[in-house]
Structure 1
């Protein structure tokens, strides 16, 4: 075969990774390699109290400067004459030595084209731009003896970090989660005739369970997910770089997505996008492949047990551009453009080169290779590794460039994936290792599609007429600005736990509008804000999509819910085409790849668990908090790399010495732990007070007493899901523009879901050993008292049945029932904090003042990476 230079290059990288060895000098060497092969078999102990203090200071000051550390060190030494604390740089070296985590430094092109590794190791100039590898001034002055690279990048090997997670009993116990969860799931399958209770992790999917039953994945293996994405560090100037991270699936979801367990793999500097990204991925994948071949020695401190683990790459997560760097597929505009290489063939306009995943065959359409009949959504499924290898072999056997291009079109493959270099028995096959990407699908691609439709932003073909685009209701600038104002006015009604509230899109949607803003705006607000504005047929189709997407955005999805989402999406996709594309050749571009990817969501949940568990949210947060830690804007990429290395070293040390990472207080000052993760938070009344009127009546009735006791009101309640519910008692004392309303909650009342507005929280005394009638001291202290924990609430009505039915359950519009609905509820009946936003819909020709329900989309997984502020507001 006459391979092209690019194919030869790709194959060289794959082959070099496949044949990787820990002894070939590409990765760890010397003491680091010796420690990797013979890890310590005892917990890490730091006896010197001043060393421990220095490490604690260094970790606590991660967002501060070297100068701050030195000032504190000198202040301590001034107060305590015998104290001798190591300097900042000494502590930094100590951190590296104790953690055992270091980076592998490789040369790269000054223009970020390629790294000088693997097949490029011996080059003196960039294979893309011909820029010299070495500093020519120093090279000439030394007569060729001093070869100083013009640019370098860092890769942080993952194996030493994994070993550190087993070196303390507490952290090692967390690493047993996968084994325990697997046994639970296998019991569920036996109990439920092959069904899991919920799809709430990657281990619930059949891909993992089949690999376990076939012994492809074993108990001692370490399952990993790699996630890659480009990052722009500053809004005001070019600063593109690429980052990839490792996520450890051995940990439970409430640990694995947290900052201290997400492991940066490499920082690929900018400011330009890498041209040969395989070369930048090479050192990290070479390391993983070598460890796969040799095995990773681990000492389990929780069992005092040595074992050998194999690193198994279970998932690779990326957005569209990032996926192409890992997969070497043709991209979404190819004829076979699906990121999972499913058999759906795209269609194109006559004479055009871009293909679109259109299900319904256009009328009067005869384009070679695109004439297949209508496609049933239920017939769409992913490809598999056997078919991929067959198609790749077919592509690589091309004898000429022309034949190669023809087969590339047929197969949807450009060349071999860099991941083929990993040991085949320790990777889920290609394309199975790739999955749907929920964050970019919902928060970017589909959101942009809906917006472009409503604003009429598509290019109108000469044979089309924009006047017939009856769904383009936001095209008029006045209507668009009014809609933007309506979106912005919702901010005060959206709780802080909903993350960033969407700004006015007519002013900001093109300037760093965040994915969370798009999600809240498009899927939470638009069903209500566009009711009566968007014609009913496209509005109902949009609501059907939102109904399916909301289910798929949940962390925990039951089989019944998944079946409903599958049905909704399967109905939505052809309806969407019928409404907007209408089998018109000139509207083929209306059907963007994200429409097709949506059809994979339900089947992917069955295969690899809830889509949100393998989304890019973790990557997005990592980029954000690493970017925040940059303290040298003049050299951001070098500084970012050092922050990534420091992050990994600190995380490793925290795992080995957990006391360096004390848990944040779950019981802040002036709080009351009610049990089951319900915690009352200040503010609260200083003294007991007497309730009057209807409040007194409902409290006495609740207690079955003739009179209501004196009470102390509480303002806030932290829920088990991490949200903080507030109350009128707190929020009505502040100006409306200063609050993000969080006093509306979803409750279970008489085994039925209801929405309530909290007036205040309280702890009612139901038993006392002596008279407290005029007692002013703190009754929440331990003593001979028994409390019942309640909230005083007013209710909202049930959702309007017409709006609920027409919107497929998306638009729940209620009215306030007011004082007549006042009642006492037990605090454990509160499920979550929700938003109730006022609107004025026309129902059967009559306008009504109502409130529509908004719930946080994907709330659980968002909480896994961040915690809500518990301070008083």
Structure 2
């Protein structure tokens, strides 16, 4: 971890800001013009307002607050923020492209699983990146040998270390530090902190033993299997006609009935609005923008990634439906709990409760060659089942490009669709 985020990245920043071992830029033009790095630092800090707290601590100002810039914050900056805030900052595009290649390689290194092809890509990728680094910064001049410290050479051995030791997400971690961080939340007494820790560890161990010995893992899990809803809560009378019509469309699609029949069934249903939803099993806390008001010191946790099955031939009645799992981004504006009575026509023999999400979709475009997506405005609104909502996303302002979407989940955390056979 420290090889990249406390050495390589910091050395690149020192080179860009004319602070690397009293060296000038030689025959290249990689140094920022006056004020550019300060603007990058300010943009990094301001991005914290639109990046949810689930992503980690608020990003520090990388130009001014060097004490707060630890390995973890540099990692997040390299992977997500840097490719956005550095766009069009260099005098020559080649330096930006070189940085983005490093970001892509680190993304590849942090995968939970590797194929032989992935490891070969890492090996070849770092070899090409180091060769380009020597061309851009070392410039093959003996007096610039200081630009090639041992940490640059060490990049060539990352692929081998993955094969010999373990995936980097296992060896680039500090499990004891993480466990200590887990214990911090249980400290209830400043005067007797260790007593609080002892009681928490003991109680957790006892509960784990009871679950295992008596086979009560499911019985002691007292939560909803998918999510729980959190206040504020509002009654059915506060649901607007706009969103009521969207709920009717969602019910008609779900139960394969007409809009008119779905409207009749909704009259007998009870609808509640909720302000927050918490995904269980390590998921995110998401806010509905209509009920959770924005505040100057509150980080935006209303934008989400959601996935739905979309009929490729929806506009052609003559063709048989063919569904494709499609990813969307948008703002979570409403959370509805719809309680339906038993309805034989819909196949509901008992009272059924549905949790639905009202989302305004973002219109998405590609952002340069970074693999990221940008959005300039919000589009249509729709109501989907809460299980379609996958996770929170962050956003970074990107000037004329609108905002760039930050999705920190890897491909293993994306939903998959197994069609009926």
TM-score bucket of the superposed structures, by smaller chain: 0.7 to 0.9
Q: Distance in 2 between matches of 1:586 and 1:857?
A: 43
CA shift digits 1:42-82 (9 cap, x unpaired): xxxxxxxxxxxxxxxxxxxxxxxxxxxxxxxxxxxxxxxxx
Per the alignment, in what secondary structure is the counterpart of residue 112 of structure 2?
coil
2:388 paired residue among 805, 829, 835: 829
Q: Find the counterpart in structure 2 of residue 611 from structure 1.
A: 168
Q: CA 1:650 to 1:714, structure 2 compared with 1: closer, same or farther past 3 Å?
A: closer
Q: CA 1:730 to 1:609, structure 2 compared with 1: closer, same or farther past 3 Å?
A: farther
Q: Distance in 1 between matches of 2:382 and 2:248?
A: 11
Per the alignment, in what secondary structure is the counterpart of residue 822 of structure 1?
strand
1:817 paired residue among 354, 378, 385: 378
Q: CA 1:652 to 1:679, structure 2 compared with 1: closer, same or farther past 3 Å?
A: closer
Cα distance, 1:666 vs structure 2: 6.8
Q: Distance in 1 between matches of 2:153 and 2:409?
A: 22
Q: CA 1:568 to 1:467, structure 2 compared with 1: closer, same or farther past 3 Å?
A: closer
Q: Find the counterpart in structure 1 of residue 359 from structure 2.
A: 793
Is 1:544 aligned to residue 86 of structure 2? no
Q: Find the counterpart in structure 1 of residue 274 from structure 2.
A: 714
Is 1:553 aligned to residue 110 of structure 2? yes
Is 1:702 aligned to residue 258 of structure 2? no
Q: Find the counterpart in structure 2 of residue 724 from structure 1.
A: 285
CA RMSD of aligned residues (A): 3.9
Q: Find the counterpart in structure 2 of residue 596 from structure 1.
A: 153
Is 1:527 aligned to residue 93 of structure 2? no
Q: CA 1:684 to 1:560, structure 2 compared with 1: closer, same or farther past 3 Å?
A: farther
CA shift digits 1:151-185 (9 cap, x unpaired): xxxxxxxxxxxxxxxxxxxxxxxxxxxxxxxxxxx
Cα distance, 1:460 vs structure 2: 3.8
Q: CA 1:748 to 1:624, structure 2 compared with 1: closer, same or farther past 3 Å?
A: closer
Q: Find the counterpart in structure 2 of residue 444 from structure 1.
A: 6
Q: Find the counterpart in structure 2 of residue 470 from structure 1.
A: 29
Q: Distance in 2 between matches of 1:832 and 1:657?
A: 29
Q: Distance in 2 between matches of 1:860 and 1:652?
A: 34
Is the Cα–Cα contact under 8 Å of residues 839 and 852 in structure 1 kept in the other structure? yes
Is the Cα–Cα contact under 8 Å of residues 493 and 835 in structure 1 kept in the other structure? yes
Is the Cα–Cα contact under 8 Å of residues 554 and 857 in structure 1 kept in the other structure? no
Q: Find the counterpart in structure 2 of residue 261 from structure 1.
A: none
Q: What is the aligned length?
A: 372
Cα distance, 1:575 vs structure 2: 1.8
Is 1:515 aligned to residue 71 of structure 2? yes
Q: Distance in 2 between matches of 1:508 and 1:688?
A: 48
CA shift digits 1:611-648 (9 cap, x unpaired): 1112233243356678998x999xxxxx99xx6x9979
Q: Find the counterpart in structure 1 of residue 231 from structure 2.
A: 683
2:18 paired residue among 428, 431, 456: 456
Q: Distance in 2 between matches of 1:480 and 1:507?
A: 10
Aligned positions of 1:30-429 closer than 5 A: none
Cα distance, 1:694 vs structure 2: 3.9
Q: CA 1:608 to 1:746, structure 2 compared with 1: closer, same or farther past 3 Å?
A: farther
Q: Distance in 1 between matches of 2:190 and 2:240?
A: 60
Cα distance, 1:603 vs structure 2: 3.7
Q: Distance in 2 between matches of 1:685 and 1:647?
A: 35
Q: CA 1:518 to 1:696, structure 2 compared with 1: closer, same or farther past 3 Å?
A: same
Q: Find the counterpart in structure 2 of residue 839 from structure 1.
A: 398
Q: Distance in 2 between matches of 1:457 and 1:596?
A: 21
Is the Cα–Cα contact under 8 Å of residues 745 and 755 in structure 1 kept in the other structure? yes
Q: CA 1:768 to 1:441, structure 2 compared with 1: closer, same or farther past 3 Å?
A: farther
Q: CA 1:837 to 1:649, structure 2 compared with 1: closer, same or farther past 3 Å?
A: closer
Taking structure 2 as the reference length, what is the TM-score of the superposition? Answer: 0.75
Q: Distance in 1 between matches of 2:55 and 2:328?
A: 20
Q: Find the counterpart in structure 2 of residue 752 from structure 1.
A: 326
Q: CA 1:831 to 1:686, structure 2 compared with 1: closer, same or farther past 3 Å?
A: closer
Q: Find the counterpart in structure 2 of residue 310 from structure 1.
A: none
Is the Cα–Cα contact under 8 Å of residues 330 and 361 in structure 2 kept in the other structure? yes
Q: CA 1:619 to 1:450, structure 2 compared with 1: closer, same or farther past 3 Å?
A: farther
Q: Distance in 2 between matches of 1:829 and 1:563?
A: 35
Shifted more, 617-626 versus 757-766: the winner is 617-626
Per the alignment, in what secondary structure is the counterpart of residue 527 of structure 1?
helix
Q: Distance in 1 between matches of 2:142 and 2:104?
A: 29
CA shift digits 1:117-139 (9 cap, x unpaired): xxxxxxxxxxxxxxxxxxxxxxx
Q: CA 1:699 to 1:600, structure 2 compared with 1: closer, same or farther past 3 Å?
A: farther
Per the alignment, in what secondary structure is the counterpart of residue 331 of structure 2?
strand
Is the Cα–Cα contact under 8 Å of residues 398 and 404 in structure 2 kept in the other structure? yes
Is the Cα–Cα contact under 8 Å of residues 294 and 300 in structure 2 kept in the other structure? no
Q: Distance in 2 between matches of 1:600 and 1:857?
A: 26
Cα distance, 1:492 vs structure 2: 0.8
Q: Distance in 1 between matches of 2:285 and 2:114?
A: 24
Per the alignment, in what secondary structure is the counterpart of residue 740 of structure 1?
coil
Aligned positions of 1:647-658 closer than 5 A: 655=205, 658=208
CA shift digits 1:184-212 (9 cap, x unpaired): xxxxxxxxxxxxxxxxxxxxxxxxxxxxx
Is 1:575 aligned to residue 132 of structure 2? yes
Q: Distance in 2 between matches of 1:562 and 1:538?
A: 25
Q: CA 1:606 to 1:506, structure 2 compared with 1: closer, same or farther past 3 Å?
A: same
Q: Distance in 1 between matches of 2:199 and 2:288?
A: 43
Shifted more, 851-860 versus 539-548: the winner is 851-860
Q: Find the counterpart in structure 2 of residue 852 from structure 1.
A: 404
The runs of 5 or more residues in structure 2 that have no matched partner are 253-258, 310-324, 414-421
Is 1:499 aligned to residue 47 of structure 2? no
Taking structure 1 as the reference length, what is the TM-score of the superposition? Answer: 0.38
Q: Find the counterpart in structure 2 of residue 763 from structure 1.
A: 337
